[in-house]
């Protein structure tokens, strides 16, 4: 007959021979029973006792370590060897010395994984931003608790939290730590359990305290007004997305993007990266950049190296000549972990059950738990004060007849009868009688007893106050708010991760830049712009302009050079010639107000090729002043396309000139007068909106008209108009020097 089929496909057969060589009975177990009996207890143990943080912001391993250090006196005492701490912690945490030391490293200041570290470390503890920088063994390093831990253990001995037995029932440990601030939102935390995970980003301590205070005062407050966004210990720039932040605040899930910070060192033509995203490492960045270089996708990079030292992180990128650093970094942000995402999953244990909570829900749970801790502390103090008051009231009875008390004790034959006789003689209970009986002989005097009795009134006042706190929820909230304000004031620090909004981020086309080639560019007075190759220029005829329009400026440069356009609205637009198509002389060209997205009615009045941003700009105003602004004042690390406040708006502008080397300039007024001065008399300013210095002294009804190089004018006797000191009125223009000048606004 065929073998009978098992009733359930998930059943197992266990056939284990014993040592006698006999076969045990076959044991059959349903797969669902196996999961329930064997697997689920393990899964719940990992979830509840290892991987998921609780409302105080700690996992059990963190809590056991910190409490052990607290009991060792390391909050106020000197550092001790890490190996000593690890050994002591094993009384609470049986998972091995390596796991305990790894936990200590992550909580340390030296490792840098937390905004508010809890372990004050000495020695090599590695770095959070490095994958390969290993920390030293525990026998070489030392540690103690930071001052911040005082806020974790405040009043822990005042029955603020529950205690439980350790794993072998030889000592007690706290179930939670009575943190005076929402550490669950301040300390970054991650854990992988069975079937679920937890990932907390850190928020700035001061912002969290302010947000909690605002929530306590108004549970419906707008959290984003005080909680600006995650703050990471490795710094970087947080790319603000209001929708993503709102989703995290409301649901506890979502992600944010963080990018590295860098600076361009112009003198050495290199980029220094000094802050990286929290979720990556320098080795991962170097490896990826090396791959790009080998694949020929980062030809602008000559070399990249890690120059991290005691002063902090620094990755250096040597650039090839002519490389645009901002455009290169924009591409590296897309292709490497120099810009990375951080996923949030606010999974927290509430009363032993894992729950994914938004920020508002976390604050609700924390404030409820903290309120209970404060009430327990107040009740603990109240109980102690009542006990003391009870003893003092018994002492007050003795005050009525001290001699009688002495006589009762002296005449009692057996020691065991002393307490009952005092109770009978003075009408006090056993606790009061024992207190009286323990008073030293030297203290049986009226002065001592009166001092103790006088405490009764103060104690009663304090007891009344404590009872009022317990009955008034507003006073409890005020205690929590005061503690939050104290923490924020004492330990609050500025944000490390700066906020960057979408309109501040410069975007570049992903297409590789074309090879550079010579071009000629032409700007008309009406704002038409065209880029023409030399070959096309030779083959074309006369330049075409719109009726009534004419040439304002022309340059010889390269096809992808940077160019800046100054407008009549005190703004400057920056772009590259590569964004303009090659044109012909017979075409009008691109209309700049449309091409650059200018404001309505805004017009271009001057163009300049900044090159390496050397030299300066001269702005001539109708009031006779001239402002000399260094060209470097228009250089920006973010390569923004539009800069406001390009020059002063205090007086109408009449002329702009670029100056690379100091030389003489002739300035005309409408009187007409003229003076020739040397630009060395003008001091360069780095502030773009400077009003300048007075160059020409004008009569009330006249204004400064234009400026030009002396060789561009028809002045024959230049010495007549030359001045050595500014300001000056200049000389009246002679007939032979006053030929009709074609010196437009920007010639």
pLDDT of residue 106: 95
Element (H, E) at 249: helix 242-251
pLDDT of residue 337: 92
pTM for this prediction: 0.65
pLDDT single digits (tens) 314-357? 999 999 888 889 999 998 998 899 999 999 999 999 988 999 99
3-state helix, strand, coil in the chain (%, to 5): 35, 25, 40
pLDDT of residue 20: 45
Lowest mean pLDDT among 80-94, 376-390, 706-720: 706-720
Tally Cβ neighbours within 10 Å of residue 51. Answer: 22
d(CA 630, CA 688): 8
- Residue closest to 226 by CA, chosen among 214, 216, 236: 214
pLDDT single digits (tens) 142-180? 999 999 999 999 999 999 999 999 999 999 999 999 999
398: which DSSP letter? H
Strand partners, 642: 573
Contact, 654 vs 703, CB < 8 A? Answer: yes
Does pLDDT of 430 surpass 60?
yes
pLDDT of residue 9: 42
- Residue closest to 347 by CA, chosen among 32, 140, 48, 635: 48
- Residue closest to 641 by CA, chosen among 569, 575, 567, 576: 575
Instruction: Give the distance, in angstroms, between the CA of residue 733 and the centroid of all CA atoms in the same chain.
Output: 63
295, exposed or middle or buried, with CB in 10 Å at 0-12, 13-18, 19+? exposed
Contact, 161 vs 176, CB < 8 A? Answer: yes
Lowest mean pLDDT among 66-70, 156-160, 414-418: 414-418
- Residue closest to 394 by CA, chosen among 425, 420, 431: 431
Mind giving me the DSSP string for 525-586? TTSEEEEE-HHHHHHS-SPP--TT--EEEEEEEETT-EEEEEETTSEEEEEEGGGS-B--TT
Residues catalogued as catalytic? 140
Q: How far is CA 179 from CA 57, 108, 156, 468, in A?
A: 9, 18, 9, 24
Mean pLDDT of the chain: 87
Question: Per the structure block, which two tokens stand in for 733?
Answer: 């223009």
pLDDT of residue 512: 47
Confidence of residue 739 (pLDDT cuts 50, 70, 90): low
pLDDT single digits (tens) 670-714? 998 999 999 999 988 888 999 999 999 998 899 999 999 988 888
pLDDT single digits (tens) 234-281? 999 999 888 889 999 999 999 999 999 999 999 999 999 999 999 999
Strand partners, 629: 617, 685
Q: Which of the two residues, 506 and 306, has the higher pLDDT score?
A: 306
pLDDT of residue 477: 95
pLDDT of residue 397: 81
pLDDT of residue 19: 44
Half-sphere exposure of 31 (CA within 13 A, CB side): 6
**Quick check: helix, strand or coil at residue 659?**
strand
712: which DSSP letter? G
Domains of the chain: 1-37 (no CATH), 52-179 (3.90.199.10), 261-337 (3.30.1360.40), 363-491 (1.10.268.10), 514-611 (no CATH), 613-629+646-747 (2.120.10.90)
**Number of residues written out for the chain:** 747
Question: Per the structure block, which two tokens stand in for 316?
Answer: 């250096």
């Amino acid at each position: 007959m065929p073998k009978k089929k098992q009733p359930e496909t998930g059943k197992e057969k266990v056939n284990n021979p014993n040592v006698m060589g006999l076969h045990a009975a076959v044991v059959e177990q349903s797969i669902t029973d196996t999961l329930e009996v064997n697997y689920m207890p393990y899964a719940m143990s990992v979830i509840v006792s290892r991987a998921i943080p609780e409302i105080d912001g700690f996992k059990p391993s963190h809590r056991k370590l910190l409490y052990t250090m607290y009991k060792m006196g390391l909050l106020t005492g000197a550092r001790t060897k890490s190996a000593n701490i690890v050994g002591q912690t094993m009384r609470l945490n049986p998972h091995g010395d390596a796991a305990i030391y790894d936990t200590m490293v992550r909580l340390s200041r030296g490792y840098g994984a937390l905004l508010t570290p809890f372990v004050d470390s000495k020695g090599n503890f590695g770095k959070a931003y490095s994958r390969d920088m290993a920390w030293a063994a525990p026998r070489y390093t030392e540690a103690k608790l930071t001052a911040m831990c005082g806020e974790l253990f405040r009043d822990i001995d005042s029955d603020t939290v529950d205690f439980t037995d350790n794993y072998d029932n030889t000592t007690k440990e706290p179930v939670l730590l009575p943190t005076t601030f929402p550490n669950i939102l301040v300390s970054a935390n991650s854990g992988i359990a069975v079937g679920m995970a937890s990932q907390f980003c850190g928020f700035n301590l001061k912002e969290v305290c302010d947000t909690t205070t605002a929530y306590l005062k108004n549970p419906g407050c707008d959290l984003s007004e005080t909680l600006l966004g995650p703050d990471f210990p490795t710094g970087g720039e947080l790319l603000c997305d209001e929708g993503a932040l709102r989703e995290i605040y409301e649901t506890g899930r979502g992600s944010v993007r963080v990018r590295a910070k860098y600076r361009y060192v112009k003198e050495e033509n290199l980029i220094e990266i000094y802050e990286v995203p929290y979720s990556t490492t320098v080795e991962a960045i170097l490896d990826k950049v090396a791959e790009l270089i080998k694949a020929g996708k980062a030809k602008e990079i000559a070399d990249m190296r890690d120059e991290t030292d005691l002063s902090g992180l620094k990755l250096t990128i040597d650039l090839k000549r002519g490389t645009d650093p901002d455009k290169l970094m924009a591409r590296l942000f897309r292709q490497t972990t120099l810009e990375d995402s951080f996923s949030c999953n606010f999974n927290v244990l509430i009363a032993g059950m894992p729950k994914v909570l938004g920020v508002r829900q976390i604050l609700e749970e924390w404030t409820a738990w903290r309120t209970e801790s404060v009430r327990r502390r107040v009740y603990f103090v109240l109980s102690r004060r009542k006990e003391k008051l009870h003893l003092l009231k018994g002492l007050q009875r003795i005050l009525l007849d001290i001699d009688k008390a002495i006589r009762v004790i002296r005449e009692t034959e057996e020691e065991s009868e002393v307490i009952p006789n005092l109770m009978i003689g003075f009408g006090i209970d056993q606790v009061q009688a024992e207190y009286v009986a323990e008073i030293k002989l030297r203290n049986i005097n009226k002065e001592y007893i009166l001092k103790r009795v006088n405490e009764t009134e103060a104690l009663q006042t304090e007891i009344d106050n404590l009872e009022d706190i317990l009955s008034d929820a507003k006073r409890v909230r005020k205690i929590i708010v005061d503690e939050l304000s104290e923490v924020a004031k004492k330990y609050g620090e500025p944000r490390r991760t700066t906020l960057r909004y979408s309109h501040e981020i410069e975007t570049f086309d992903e297409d590789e830049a074309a090879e550079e080639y010579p071009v000629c560019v032409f700007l008309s007075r009406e704002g038409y712009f065209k880029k023409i190759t030399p070959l096309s220029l030779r083959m074309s005829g006369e330049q075409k302009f719109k009726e009534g329009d004419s040439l304002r400026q022309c340059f010889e440069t390269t096809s992808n050079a940077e160019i800046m356009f100054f407008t009549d609205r005190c703004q400057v637009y920056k772009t590259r010639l590569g964004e303009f198509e090659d044109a012909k002389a017979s075409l009008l060209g691109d209309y700049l107000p449309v091409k650059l997205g200018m404001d309505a009615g805004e017009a271009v009045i001057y163009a300049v090729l900044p090159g390496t941003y050397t030299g300066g700009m001269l702005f001539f105003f109708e009031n006779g002043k001239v402002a000399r602004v260094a060209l470097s004042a228009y250089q920006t690390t973010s390569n923004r396309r539009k800069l406001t406040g390009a020059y002063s708006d205090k007086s109408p502008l009449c002329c702009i000139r670029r100056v690379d080397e100091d030389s003489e300039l002739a300035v005309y007024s409408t009187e007409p007068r003229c003076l020739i001065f040397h630009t060395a008399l003008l001091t360069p300013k780095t502030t773009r909106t400077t009003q300048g210095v007075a160059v020409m002294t004008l009569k009330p009804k006249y204004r400064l008209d234009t400026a030009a190089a002396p060789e561009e004018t028809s002045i024959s006797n230049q010495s007549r108009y030359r001045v050595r000191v500014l300001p000056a009125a200049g000389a009246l223009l002679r007939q032979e020097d006053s030929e009709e000048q074609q010196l437009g606004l920007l010639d």
